[in-house]
Amino acid sequence: MMQQQTGTLKLYILMVIAMLCWSFSLIWTKIALVSFPPVTLITLRLTLASFFLFLFLKTTGKLQRIEKGDLKLFLLLAFFEPFLYYIGETYGLTMVMPTLASVIVALIPVFAPFFAFAFLKEKLSLANFIGIIISVLGVYLIVSQGSDSSSTSLKGVLLLLLAAFSAIVYGLILRKIPAKYSATTIIYYQSLLGLIYFVPSVLLIDRVKLPHIQIYGEAVAAVLMLTIFASVIAFVLFADAVRKIGIAKSQVFTNLIPVFTALFSWVLFKEILNLLQWMGVLVVVVGVFFSQKKVKTEETIS
């Protein structure tokens, strides 16, 4: 019994570490964008992540090959995340402050049950509806009260919503991936296959900008931090947790991301939100937490 409790506590600590990594990722992205255009930044991040994951899988003897029949699923997986997700998140961060971005991304577990109902025929609860209403109200408070258009751009919010919805579809596709593939293997191939979409995008979108890039040490360090902590460590820890404690319990931890991001942004960027925006952040977090807490209770009862 004691060993089980210790194992659960260790898993929860690792989940908090994963959330810390993802909270910082929004800030590191903001720093890296000073040097690198969005698509170039994402391509660098995925290239390095693929390299590090390949080294890890190869040296541990855990590298698996994708069977031909599963390739379409992996390509579709990579299209939604990393491709659409990172496009929405990274471009969104050029228009919205990290704290607000983290709040939008935190809507993922609120909207996820509706997609699961539509595509997987999973049951919806009253808590799902209440959660989404509360969270949307919070987003409205954040966007409508922005005194600085650069910090609460509607276009930026829409791009971040694209990221959130892409992550939801990604989760649905992920359930279709055969269980024989390890979490690390899936993350490796989604990063590698994501380059199929991003390399042509760099040539189309950033080709003119590439010769004029000014590389700063802080931006390079931010790219490395994004790769190691956000693209590799956090994903592996989260994927492992999902397999051990389930998606519903794992998603509860994402409520920590807006809190951590707000704290780090205040310390590093002196990012200031007005009172109603802070109320909006709180309302979104409450909506997400309420929805997930109710789902957890319903699962226990059933």
DSSP string, 1-65: -HHHHHHHHHHHHHHHHHHHHHHHHHHHHHHHTTTS-HHHHHHHHHHHHHHHHHHHHHHTT---P
pLDDT tens track for 110-126: 777 777 777 777 677 78
Which is more confidently placed, 252 or 68?
A: 68
| pLDDT at residue 146, rounded to an integer | 54
**Residue recorded with tokens 């956090």:** 234
The proportion of the chain whose per-residue pLDDT surpasses 90, expressed as a percent, equals 45
Q: Which amino acid is at 137?
A: L
| pLDDT at residue 249, rounded to an integer | 67
When the pLDDT of each residue in the chain is averaged and rounded to a whole number, the result is 84
| pLDDT at residue 202, rounded to an integer | 96
DSSP string, 78-111: HIIIIIIHHHHHHHHHTTB-HHHHHHHHTTHHHH
| pLDDT at residue 297, rounded to an integer | 44
Inter-residue contact 93 to 205 (CB < 8 Å): no
Inter-residue contact 26 to 260 (CB < 8 Å): no
Mean pLDDT of 251-264: 78
Which is more confidently placed, 277 or 218?
A: 218
Distance CA 209, CA 279 (A): 39
| pLDDT at residue 124, rounded to an integer | 72
Distance CA 300, CA 150 (A): 44
| pLDDT at residue 299, rounded to an integer | 44
Enumerate the domain spans of the chain: 10-301
CA dihedral for 135, 159, 170, 16, sign (positive or negative)? negative
* Helix pair 98-105, 154-174: axis angle to 10 deg: 40
- The most confident of the ranges 33-47, 121-135, 273-287 is 33-47
- Residue 292 banded pLDDT, cuts 50, 70, 90: low
Q: Which amino acid is at 233?
A: I
Mean pLDDT of 125-134: 78
> Which range is least confidently modeled, 15-19, 91-95, 108-112?
108-112
Residue 152, classed as helix, strand or coil, is strand
pLDDT tens track for 221-234: 999 999 999 999 99
Say yes or no to pLDDT of 151 above 60: no
Q: Which two tokens stand for residue 137?
A: 């109200």
Say yes or no to pLDDT of 183 above 70: yes
Report the predicted TM-score, pTM, of the whole model to 2 decimal places: 0.81
Radius of gyration of the chain, Cα coordinates, nearest whole angstrom: 19
Residue 233, classed as helix, strand or coil, is helix
DSSP string, 193-227: HHHHHHHHHIIIIITTTGGG----HHHHHHHHHII
Q: Which amino acid is at 267?
A: V
pLDDT tens track for 25-75: 989 999 999 999 999 999 999 999 999 999 999 999 999 999 999 999 999
Give 150's DSSP letter: T
Q: How many C-beta atoms lie closer than 10 Å to residue 76's C-beta?
A: 14
Q: Which two tokens stand for residue 259?
A: 């809190």
